[in-house]
Structure 1
């Protein structure tokens, strides 16, 4: 089971407790994956304003950690669950969690996740602070995090996993996935147990096919830079493949890297001049670069080969803009 969760998400902490209640058995490996609710969270962390807190989530946390009865008539502040008090950037915390799995497997990773969640939601610790993360990881049995964080270990892995989750449709924290089946939110224990029993097995695909599909999904989600990140190994090892080059060109175009898009499309059309979509995209690239006269023949060919609305509309638009220039 993969659990996609933000370590600053109260429902992730609640969801972890419900996983324990589900009693899935030792044959189920639970792996924590990154999700970021607040990508603009600052570094260093800032105090969390009261209006940004989720009262329903705070109530669920207090149900997990009820305050003990007062000793000698008074309750120490440290004995009361505090809830989150920091608006923390969790990228480094996700790196620590990823490194924990790589070094010690699911058991160590889960111990690190539990320690970070408890520190954030029960103890009011700042999990965006590296020194705090290093200490928490060591308490959970994971040493060497100060040097690892300074080296940048885990950063690429977390970025790739964040993009994979986005491409696969993860849209909330927590999301529980087994095979190709997902459920979102801090589901009751019986729902999580049913997920394990009835989930459809994941269809195994070669890495190259999986990366292509993820890049396509990210382009559909209007994340061209994320698509380019996913395409890196394919461009390195299969850069001459027409499907890879066309996806890269789409990502360059979507991220306004018009020079790279043009060069990629021109080289692609030298080999496959009959590719009407590549022809159309080259015309659009030249149009966006305000090179209308150069765009026109490509758009005419694209519209002739495949007179779909997008192709015809782009051709009409460029012809009208050129006509307006001549009139002026």
Structure 2
């Protein structure tokens, strides 16, 4: 089963959703057959290259209610074992981070990409790291297992930029307007940081639907296969 998770590094619910989905996978009997790939999405694509304090930016955007929004996420995150420090968090453009995630998936595989995603979310929300800064991103990437020199050279140029831009456009074309969004086998989509039990049920339902579709396909193929007795002289009667 292929699961594509559309999310942003600067999305607080994306970290909660990731943690809950990871827990669901641990409980899912078919977890060894599930491939998880993170796809890019930017909540604020026009965020400036220079980082600024998260609290000030959020207050400007949402007004007095912004602190209550942060407090609720902090509480929910704590229940999942996550630490949010919004006083230290930096509002930054996440495009470079998504390029780095693309590199990890392309050259190291989905498992390493998943590790990098977790470290980027922690860096942004817990450690006050500017995830738009190349030097800071390099350190996070190295901690995830990526080669330092490769990352430095990669981030210094534009490699991967076109591919990430295309993936961002693809998300828009798919109608994804909120994250996290979990797409199963390119057919079934679940939006939001659902409860662990919900994710488990979705994984089980998708598995059942895939099995039913495979059975139906085999049955249809059997109906299309001509009987051996009906074949003679290089031609088959159907």
Normalised to the residue count of structure 2, the TM-score between the two structures is 0.74
Q: Corresponding residue for 1:239?
A: none
The 8 Å contact of residues 181 and 195 in structure 1, kept in 2 or not, is answered as no
> Quick one: distance in 2 between partners of 1:134 and 1:33?
20
Q: Distance in 1 between matches of 2:78 and 2:93?
A: 23
Give runs of aligned pairs for residues 283-322 of structure 1, distance below 5 A. Answer: none
1:159 maps to which of 165, 173, 178: 165
Cα distance in 2 for partners of 1:40, 1:6 equals 14
Are the counterparts in 2 of residues 6 and 34 from structure 1 also a CA contact under 8 Å?
Answer: yes
Contact 2:89 2:127 in 1 (8 A): no
Encode CA deviations 1:90-117: one digit per residue, 9 max, x unaligned: 0000000011000111110001001100
Deviations 1:101-151 (A, max 9, x none): 001111100010011001111111111111100110001101221100122
Which one of the candidate residues 119, 122, 132 is aligned to 1:118?
122
Where do 5+ consecutive residues of structure 2 fail to align? 214-238
User: 1:65 touches 1:81 (CA, 8 Å); kept in 2?
Assistant: no
Kindly state the Cα deviation for residue 188 of structure 1 after the two structures are TM-superposed.
Answer: 1.1
Please state if 1:190 is matched with 2:197.
yes
Residues 1:82 and 2:85 aligned together: yes
Counterpart residue number, 2:52: 46
Question: Any unmatched runs of 5+ in structure 1?
Answer: 67-79, 204-328
Distance 1:112 1:60 in 2: 22
Give, in whole Å, the separation in 2 of the partners of 1:93 and 1:102. 14
Equivalent position of 2:230 in the other structure:
none
- TM-fit CA distance, 1:195: 2.3
Cα RMSD of the aligned pairs, angstroms, is 1.9
C-alpha distance in 1 between matches for 2:93 and 2:109: 25
Higher relative contact order (CA 8 A, sep 6+): 2
Does 2:156 match 1:150? yes
Q: 1:197 & 1:65 partners in 2: Cα distance?
A: 25
What's the counterpart of residue 132 of structure 1?
136
The answer to whether residue 103 in structure 2 is matched with residue 99 in structure 1 is yes
Whether the 8 Å CA contact 1:100–1:108 is kept in 2: the answer is yes
Structure number with bigger Rg: 1
Q: Distance in 1 between matches of 2:180 and 2:42?
A: 10
1:326 maps to what in 2?
none
User: Which of 33, 38, 43 is residue 27 of structure 1 equivalent to?
Assistant: 33
Larger fraction in strand: 2
Partners of 2:145 and 2:170 in 1: CA distance: 28
TM-score (norm 1): 0.54
Give the corresponding residue for 2:77: 61
Distance 2:117 2:170 in 1: 20
Q: 1:12, 1:82 → 2: CA distance?
A: 15
Instruction: Kindly report which structure 2 residues correspond to 1:210-249, keeping only aligned pairs within 5 A, or say none.
Output: none
